[in-house]
Structure 1
């Protein structure tokens, strides 16, 4: 039986063997080193692991393994060790010590850490955006020329993975030597990475179009709580003087991370969209009348979208099953001593793509319950999904993904005039309502909050349709009319108690949150002693380290972190 290289693995207790034999070391298991979901970096995990085992086989190890095969002590399986809260690389002695330690230690809650080579000098350069290549020009209803560009030399969020820019920073030695950053253009705009292929942008990222079928683009900011507002202008679509013809179509709304980018907004249960034709509202591909009869969204119209979400404190109560409608009547701010801050854990790894450095992390995936909600199975099939969706979504639903947020809504304005509220009681999105790919990491880490789940402003364009977005940084094209709620005027801006805040302000908040989370991660790794192996080259017992040789993501014997290969 061939053995793998065990240089970096902790020793197990020695099995009695003849003194002339080499001491037995723990064999690397396939299940320990193969990620549950292959990423673009390791498409052929099985063959790679097999190659490594053959490469490091020695005659002495073969003889030793043969002589001691009958005396080997059966080890716990990976799942059994995970159920005990242990790292997969802990030795038997480490296991005994871990059993005496508190179950929820800092090391258990820390993000996974991958051993990487030091960064290159170029990794300290400022992040760069995509390369723009002119694709075509068009004219808006006012006669202005708009030049759209094809973006290249950047990675797309696909294949179940999510990417964000990062930069090397020597002040983060315990983590990766890398932290989150953003390239130009700075500010809230439609994301170049979080868009389907064949979506064309202006250089500011505020104008999108396509010459293909429906393609979606999400903004680079997500809203998680509070009341937010943004607007968009249709620059190519249904002409106002047309009798049925069009220059393309658009849909606008909000979409979660799980929503498909190769489909229009409102296609699935993860997004809410508004059609230009007849002004219909769409959710789970079910169009319903919303605008008055014979009224559509035409070229030159400005559509404003307002979303209201409860506080994350109440949201967490709902998804954890602790919500009590009789007690949690008001969503007011609690006593500062009672505030529960989000537990943000980001499992990510820096990778290269051409001249860029990105953080790669496993993205949130669709669930069977919401797929069943969109396409119910016939009654009597006995499927788990059918049983779960027998009860309509509500805040107390037994399935977290089918729980709704009380007092949440989306309102629609046309040219500053309120058209109505097409959606209320939006579906919850905080984990475990949202989950990453099944079995992606250890234990229940697929239900962790990485700080970027939420509702994203989103637009879809179809065969020439074009939309320009405005997140309120420089004011509004059509400020929404003032409304009276609970006896007081509600004005735009973030200073009013019930005010609608521009999404541009959320971008600034998101930058602050990323900075805080990076510092917390660094301090957390330093507190459990992970940073010591940067200096002494040691791996501490119980440390959650994924060895790069088995995952294809970089390791002690690698000269460089891996480079992502992805079609533009």
Structure 2
């Protein structure tokens, strides 16, 4: 968003399979958010061809045209994973699609038709202007488009508005604008700064929705991807996998819709009655810790912070049911199953609160998480989601206390004592609930303002790597079990 270039070697986030002059990514630096964030995404064939020809031009600056069959198609074949997150096509039908794309898109590509070979080049030879969402800019500029010294390496922010909404031309002065056409940005690629779809279904009483992404390691996914016979039929869930965030943040879908989440997803503001938001990652064993800071808390507002399992009611305060435990700002009361007990002095604006949970590991505990691959997939605004039905009453009957577990809360670095012992078994997520216009910011680590010195713990930020490893192994097991089973659907 700050429109600056950065060396890839200077970044701390993982870029994965990447090449120069890419268009299929979204990048936010530390100037634009609390941390760096690099997200790959699907690309159209026009974007893939643009990236391929641009890189060929960079490797061969003396040439303007490149052979479709001998250079462009082989480059796409070799660098498919860098050009797009779409699963690799097995059949060669996409070769024809590439030809049609470059012939049709005369605003970006020019053709040199030889009797023996067909070659393509870029209408605009200025490679410094190639980046996310640059196609419309190149089409409108044509060959007379002039490069500016300060080029763009990050995706410009999408401005909300009507069909004729104007947007600044990246790299130009403040008065220079272009019109963003409806088809310039696909609905499925409209992501907020932290990579989650702008429009998404919210978890609610009875149902939970989990964002899915294609699992390129799933058996026979090529047959599904290329077969026209699947049109209108349910998509097998095992061909996809659960989308996992790159960081521990406040979840956009796992919250009450009226709560307002900041762009960096580390701050939340309440609205009217009590409602709750959970973090993107939870823990089921070990000792974990996170911090919150009370930024604003008017006299008629209140907060309850703590830990909640995934079935905890969102349109209620944390600590309302059997699935959550909380610490309230007023009178310092602790809550579980709507029963309040005196715990500590109240906390107020400016206080930094630490929340520690200790969950002993049991021998009979399941080692791998639920992959969601056996759940039905539903489509919402160009994205697929696993739809999970909540079995609250059935789960409540089976809940058992975890011997030796406990929760301890801290205020400005000082322990307030053990708040809860022998909590129920399950996966616990950091949870924030707000009453009226209170505002809280969260810190999941690894650096804390008041790290506790009397206990051992892991920062919640470390839960990302552990969870991804578990899900990867769980997905692999399911993929092996479904080997050769695509024909059954």
TM-score calculated relative to the size of structure 1: 0.47
* Structure 1 residues 280 and 173: CA distance shift in structure 2, 3 A: same
Whole-Å separation in 2 of the counterparts to 1:282 and 1:162: 25
Out of 424, 443, 462, the position equivalent to 2:421 is 424
Does 2:361 match 1:311? yes
Residue 226 (1) aligns with residue 286 (2): yes
User: In the alignment, what sits opposite 2:485?
Assistant: 530
- 1:438-477 deviation line (CA, Å, top 9, x unaligned): xxxxxxxxxxxxxxxx11110001110111111113x001
Which residue in the other structure is 1:365 paired with? 392
Structural RMSD (CA): 3.0
Distance 2:211 2:318 in 1: 25
1:180 to 206, 225, 242: 242
More displaced, 171-180 or 263-272? 171-180
Query: In the TM superposition, what are the counterparts of 1:27-426 in structure 2 within 5 Å?
Result: 152-174=198-220, 176-182=238-244, 186-237=246-297, 245-246=299-300, 248-291=301-344, 295-313=345-363, 316=365, 341-342=367-368, 344=370, 346=372, 347-367=374-394, 370=396, 400-401=398-399, 403-426=400-423
Cα gap change, 1:511 to 1:122, in 2 (>3 Å):
closer
- CA deviations on 1:409-448 (whole Å, 9 max, x unpaired) are 000100011111110011123xxxxxxxxxxxxxxxxxxx
Match of 2:444 in 1: 471
Whole-angstrom CA distance in 1 between matches of 2:158 and 2:419: 39
C-alpha separation in 2, matches of 1:344 and 1:263: 26
Match of 1:336 in 2: none
Judged with a 3 Å threshold, the aligned counterparts in structure 2 of structure 1 residues 123 and 307 are, in CA distance, closer, same or farther, namely same
Question: Which residues of structure 1 form unaligned runs of 5+?
Answer: 1-120, 135-150, 239-244, 317-339, 371-398, 430-453, 484-489, 491-498, 534-538, 540-544, 546-568
Matched position secondary structure for 1:366: helix
Is the 1:201–1:207 contact (alpha carbons within 8 Å) kept by the matching residues of 2? yes
Tell me the distance in 1 between the aligned counterparts of 2:261 and 2:160: 10
Q: Structure 1 residues 300 and 353 mapped into 2: Cα distance closer, same or farther (>3 Å)?
A: same
CA distance in 2, matches of 1:270, 1:131: 38
Conservation of the 8 A alpha-carbon contact between 1:348 and 1:360: yes
CA shift, 1:343, in A, is 7.7
Aligned-partner Cα distance in 1 for 2:266–2:212: 23
Cα 1:517/1:307, change in 2 over 3 Å:
same
Q: How far, CA to CA, are the matches of 1:214 and 1:165 in structure 2?
A: 26
**1:372-431 CA distance string (max 9 Å, x none):** xxxxxxxxxxxxxxxxxxxxxxxxxxx642x211110000100011111110011123xx
CA distance in 2, matches of 1:133, 1:213: 29
1:191 touches 1:220 (CA, 8 Å); kept in 2? yes
Equivalence for 1:509: 466
Q: What secondary structure, in the 3-state scheme, does the structure 1 residue paired with 2:469 have?
A: helix
1:41-83 CA distances to partner (integer Å, 9 max, x unpaired)? xxxxxxxxxxxxxxxxxxxxxxxxxxxxxxxxxxxxxxxxxxx
Gaps of 5+ in 2: 1-83, 89-131, 133-154, 162-196, 221-235
Q: Give the total of aligned pairs.
A: 289
CA distance in 2, matches of 1:505, 1:275: 27
Instruction: Determine the C-alpha separation between the residues in 1 that align with 2:160 and 2:405.
Output: 41
Residue 211 of structure 1 and its aligned partner are, at CA, apart by 2.0
For 2:320 and 2:200, how far apart are their aligned partners in 1? 26
- What CA distance in whole angstroms lies between the structure 1 residues aligned with 2:391 and 2:410? 31
CA distance in 2, matches of 1:132, 1:202: 16
| Cα distance in 2 between the residues matched to 1:286 and 1:177 | 44
1:497-539 deviations in Å (ceiling 9; x for gaps): xx2001110122112222221111111111xx414x1xxxxx3
Say if 1:209 and 1:462, in contact at 8 Å, map to a contact too: no
CA–CA distance in structure 2, aligned partners of residues 132 and 277 of structure 1: 40
**Shift in Å, 1:234:** 0.7
Do the aligned residues in 2 keep the contact of 1:131 with 1:153 (CA within 8 Å)? no
Residue deviations 1:284-326 (CA, integer Å, cap 9, x gap): 11111111xxx31100101101101111425x4xxxxxxxxxx
Provide closer, same or farther for how the CA distance between residues 425 and 508 of structure 1 changes in structure 2, counting only shifts above 3 A.
same
Instruction: Return the offset for 1:269.
Output: 1.4
Offset at residue 160 of structure 1 (A)? 2.0
Q: Secondary structure at the match of 1:469?
A: strand
- Over 3 Å counting, the alpha-carbon distance change for 1:179 and 1:237 in structure 2 is same
Q: Distance in 2 between matches of 1:351 and 1:270?
A: 27
Within 5 A, what are the aligned runs for 1:539-558? 539=488
Per the TM alignment, residue 283 of structure 1 is displaced from its structure 2 partner at its CA by 0.9
Deviations 1:9-28 (A, max 9, x none): xxxxxxxxxxxxxxxxxxxx
The secondary structure found in structure 1 opposite 2:482 is helix
TM-score calculated relative to the size of structure 2: 0.54
Tell me: higher relative CO, structure 1 or 2? Use CA pairs within 8 A at least 6 residues apart. 1
